[in-house]
Structure 1
């Protein structure tokens, strides 16, 4: 039987446990013996220099209660009904961006033309963030996710939070039909809490989907037979979306960080209180016991239980929105540009190595 947990070192040299394999990762994702907080955060092992994601988050004593409270406040804003109501607008925005791409003509950068602007447009409308501010908050979110420069990440986090507080103050004076305005009206949260939560949603709600759209397109165009299968059979879109979600998890990353809240033993490993445990989603999503020939991109593969959105109590609230956006892109893109192809060799496509989420620098295409 393969070893599912072993000692490793993070990119900054700290010791950690690396967990691999679908069953192990799935089980520990929903194990309340692990959490995101740490009793003494200043001494905790770190995965990188990112101020928001490189180390512990939250209050050790109240973490689970805080998480349940925030999730309960957010759940109504990401309900199936609200997401279904948003779907036509996502389709409309996708069409507009593809119209612009067609007008521009080849060659083009699909990353800049579609993968970046669509999730940004959607999350701005959902939260009530001015789209005109996109360059500024994109720069902040890029810096916050920087895994190598702690000072840069900390500075950007402070600036994004200050921006969020200004937005909340504006929503108090001039509410709109958006999540930030509704959170202000709901009560039960302070303005700093709304600002912090809103800016976390801004980051999570666009950055990961930017990556999935870009990497998904790269995977399909690097496997032309898969692209053509999608071109000829639009019924494959749902499977394609799940295959992209499964395969486009960042490979080579450290994994989702968790900290042991107590002494525990797992698969023969004695994990001590406070130890850093890294849950490797990429490994889980490429487990051959769950996904036959896992390295092969296959748009006909039946949707399997990938763990891209997590599992259990921390399952991503934004999962339905991400699926709507990916579905819109990979329905319209093959229909509008059936002859789409990479303009460079796949090996020449540059990937981002300095950010938490990874993704592409650009995606040159022709048609």
Structure 2
């Protein structure tokens, strides 16, 4: 079914009614202030007051339907956030920087040895986040290709059997790994979480499996997309690329702008309206819109990051933009716990590129790579570069 949109109601900037691909009504939130407010609002969540009759975005096992129970969601989320904070603390992420640096440099060495043009997506963007999250969780490096394949399967919005299979394979793998970590703990996030489970009873082994599976998936797929987007943006904007290549001190600002900016790849109509899925737990108002209990809310963070009331000349890719209060990692109590680690990965890679590949360029600058269709995270079919 095609998306059907109503025009924004008077007095409701950045929020409008749509019909989802599943045929259900929803609020699509694209304005910055409305998005920021709803992302932090405790009156909305992933659960639904009447889950059997909840509106859906699609049949996706990941984003299409409600999760959990309204009565317990807030307490469960707060508890899991405390555990995720242990796994993804800024200090623990920063401690991995030397290993991330060494891994990125090794992958760039392997890229340099390939015939030109070479696929940056396959050689660097895909393996780096998988290897980094493996370091964090204590996953054997030799297994990173397998779990990357399963997390990739999980993101297929138009192949529900493939998505479910990917999710189940990841969960089965993580169940086995957690049992091995219990028998032989190491210096890693899973062993740390198991120590909490054994010591305080705050978390069960099954919850460690669920949490580690989520971390394995989320820490991999979104960072792959950010690396691909960053390479495309820098190589398609000569002035920005020259500035970053000339001044490594711009890398942190450039990373924030990469996170904020739209991808140069054409959008995928199947997932174009997908946003952060939330359900209203009571009647509320946002951006002047009267949202009713049980309504589906789709918060489009990338659209909010283009709001001209917040970002001057938002369509411009500006690697010196400051301030840059983008919502890519969310806002409020659901702010992404993996943000510090993702930032370090991006900073390390984009600081290494100028010295290693000063002449890096797109093999065919006139034709942007095509996006893999039906994917919840935007990956190119290939990202061919030369130097």
Higher mean alpha-carbon deviation, 317-326 vs 42-51, is at 42-51
Instruction: Report what 1:209 is aligned to.
Output: 223
Contact kept in structure 2, 1:108 and 1:364, CA below 8 Å: yes
Instruction: Report what 1:147 is aligned to.
Output: 157
Equivalence map 1:119-130=2 (5 Å): 119-130=129-140
1:199 equivalent to 2:213? Answer: yes
From 312, 327, 332, the counterpart of 2:352: 332
Contact kept in structure 2, 1:216 and 1:248, CA below 8 Å: no
Partner Cα separation in structure 1 for residue 165 and residue 345 of structure 2: 31
1:81 equivalent to 2:95? Answer: no
Equivalence map 1:60-79=2 (5 Å): 60-79=70-89
From 46, 55, 69, the counterpart of 1:59: 69
Normalising by structure 1, report the TM-score.
0.95
From 231, 234, 237, the counterpart of 2:245: 231
Instruction: Report what 1:361 is aligned to.
Output: 381
Distance 1:324 1:248, change over 3 A: farther
Equivalence map 1:239-254=2 (5 Å): 239-248=253-262, 252-254=272-274
Instruction: Report what 1:322 is aligned to.
Output: 342
Partner Cα separation in structure 1 for residue 90 and residue 41 of structure 2: 26
Partner Cα separation in structure 2 for residue 91 and residue 343 of structure 1: 26
**Matched residue of 2:96: which SS?**
helix
Partner Cα separation in structure 2 for residue 139 and residue 198 of structure 1: 16
Instruction: Report what 2:147 is aligned to.
Output: 137
Instruction: Report what 2:362 is aligned to.
Output: 342
| Structure 1: 4+ residue segments shifted above 6 A | none
Instruction: Report what 2:320 is aligned to.
Output: 300
Instruction: Report what 2:21 is aligned to.
Output: 11
Structure 1 residues not aligned, in runs of 5+: none
Structure 2 residues not aligned, in runs of 5+: 1-10
Higher mean alpha-carbon deviation, 121-130 vs 154-163, is at 154-163
Question: Cα deviation per residue 1:4-53 (whole Å; 9 max; x = unaligned)?
Answer: 21110222222100112111110111011111111232321222232122
Normalising by structure 2, report the TM-score.
0.91
Contact kept in structure 1, 2:86 and 2:189, CA below 8 Å: no
**Matched residue of 2:385: which SS?**
strand
Instruction: Report what 1:218 is aligned to.
Output: 232
- Return the offset for 1:104: 2.3
- Return the offset for 1:81: 1.9
Number of residue pairs the alignment of both structures matches: 367
Higher mean alpha-carbon deviation, 25-34 vs 143-152, is at 143-152
Partner Cα separation in structure 2 for residue 131 and residue 64 of structure 1: 35
